[in-house]
Amino acid sequence: EDKVVQSPLSLVVHEGDTVTLNCSYEVTNFRSLLWYKQEKKAPTFLFMLTSSGIEKKSGRLSSILDKKELSSILNITATQTGDSAIYLCAVVTGGGADGLTFGKGTHLIIQP
Amino acid sequence: NAGVTQTPKFQVLKTGQSMTLQCAQDMNHNSMYWYRQDPGMGLRLIYYSASEGTTDKGEVPNGYNVSRLNKREFSLRLESAAPSQTSVYFCASSEALLRGTFGSGTRLTVV
């Protein structure tokens, strides 16, 4: 059974801090790993990491895939209150149950 | 620029009632999905459809049925709602299982 584990499940920091969110996976036939940000409604796409693209950066957010350790991290520097959200990690596999296997998410709260 | 549209946004059902959640996408994606999201459980796949005319079970299909009416529309039906089906339901579509675009969700409460 495919498994995606995120840590921590919740995190409270102050504005300006740097945070690192973790995602580890045990899946068959790994194809890619996705990070999403979910505020009040639907998850919105942040990054996709594959074997050929193991590091992505967009502004204050960056993500790295470690295929040897079967994990990924999402870094947010100089956090702002608008970064408060649930961050979801998902793995795309080529297995029979097509789709994304999600972790439980990290609930990040940025205090002013 | 609608993306993925879900209806209704909120619904309260009594145990045993039936209802259909509607989902439509305008991005010409082949693949569509239904997920449920429960506190502390993340998103779990209920059913998916890799292309028009095909549907397959995901991780938690019991108590649900789906119909891929055409390329745009993918509906989820609860034949006899149970309190355990209280959840937030998300429809998503994607091309080649890549990024996935989500609808805004349906919050369902079964009493």
The candidate with the shortest Cα–Cα distance to B81, out of B3, B2, B12, is B12
Q: Is A97 left (phi over 0), alpha (psi -120 to 50) or beta?
A: beta
**pLDDT, tens only, B61-105:** 999 999 998 999 999 999 999 999 999 999 998 876 556 788 999
The pLDDT tens digits for B56-67 are 888 899 999 999
- How large a percentage of chain A has pLDDT more than 90? 64
**Which of A42, A48, A101 is the closest to B102 by Cβ?**
A42
**Which of A98, A102, A104 has its CB closest to that of B56?**
A98
Chain A residues with CB-CB distance to B101 below 8 A:
45
**Encoded tokens for A1:** 């059974």
